Structure 1
Amino acid sequence: MIKVTRLNGDTFTLNAIFIEQVQSFPDTTISLINNKKIIIKESESEVNQLITNYYQRIGLQECLKEIGDSE
């Protein structure tokens, strides 16, 4: 889970597993796998770092690396 901030200043926690895409339009827009879009204050690079940190915490990044090594 990653903590992000809506444009109105409200913070919320989002399950990063459901993120399909992060873009800057210039506001950072997160597209989820259910096609919902969320606009947040954090920059695209900040969101990418939050996602990477989350994947590392839950062990997903290491798991994906091992799968890539076996192919």
Structure 2
Amino acid sequence: MIEVNPLNGNKFILNSNHIEKIEEIPETVITLINGKKYLVKESSKEIVDKVIEFRRKYWANVRLEESNEEE
């Protein structure tokens, strides 16, 4: 899950697992696997960085929980 800033100014949280593609034309357009599109203020690089950071945190928590279960 990542926070994005659409052009209308109302931030929302997006499930990054549903992203099909990201385009800059010149606005950044996020297309989901269901075909829905969002125009956002972030660049495609910023979106990718947010997804990577979210997944790093997620997998760090998974590993922590697994290590706690082993104790």
Structure 1 length-normalised TM: 0.78
Residue type at the aligned position of 2:37 = K
Query: SS where residue 34 of structure 1 aligns?
Result: coil
Number of aligned residue pairs: 59
What residue ranges of structure 1 are gaps of 5+ in the alignment? 60-71
2:58, 2:37 → 1: CA distance? Answer: 24
Tell me the residue number matched to 2:24. Answer: 24
Alignment of 1:14-53 (within 5 A): 14-53=14-53
Residue type at the aligned position of 1:55 = R
CA offsets 1:13-70 (integer angstroms, 9 cap, x no match): 00101111111010000010101111101111100100111111222xxxxxxxxxxx
2:58, 2:21 → 1: CA distance? Answer: 20
1:20, 1:54 → 2: CA distance? Answer: 17
Task: Provide the identity percentage.
Answer: 39
Larger radius of gyration: 2
* In the alignment, structure 1 residue 8 sits paired with structure 2 residue 5: no
Residue type at the aligned position of 2:36 = K
